């Protein structure tokens, strides 16, 4: 991984932007397709969020709770 970082560090800003674009496009191509059940669940969660936007737990709180030591 260090060699890759060295190669990236030697690129121009334009080359880095082009590389980033290529990587992003490859990620989009690798993206998984949702099943119908997953899409229904996601839509349901989005609807609940839109109806009750204050009824959420911020990520910072969730993360801190996850890493609390007993």
pLDDT digits (tens, 9 = 90+) for 5-54: 999 999 999 999 999 999 988 887 777 788 899 989 999 999 999 999 99
| Total-model pTM | 0.44
Residues shown for the chain = 70
HSE of 42, CA atoms in CB hemisphere, 13 A:
7
Query: Are the CB atoms for 9 and 1 separated by under 8 Å?
Result: no
């Amino acid at each position: 991984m260090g060699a890759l970082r060295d190669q990236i560090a030697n690129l121009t800003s334009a080359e880095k932007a082009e590389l980033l674009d290529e990587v992003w496009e490859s990620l989009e191509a690798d993206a998984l397709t949702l099943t119908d059940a997953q899409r229904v669940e996601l839509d349901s969660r989005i609807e609940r969020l839109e109806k009750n936007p204050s009824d959420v737990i911020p990520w910072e709180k969730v993360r801190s709770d996850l890493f609390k030591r007993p």
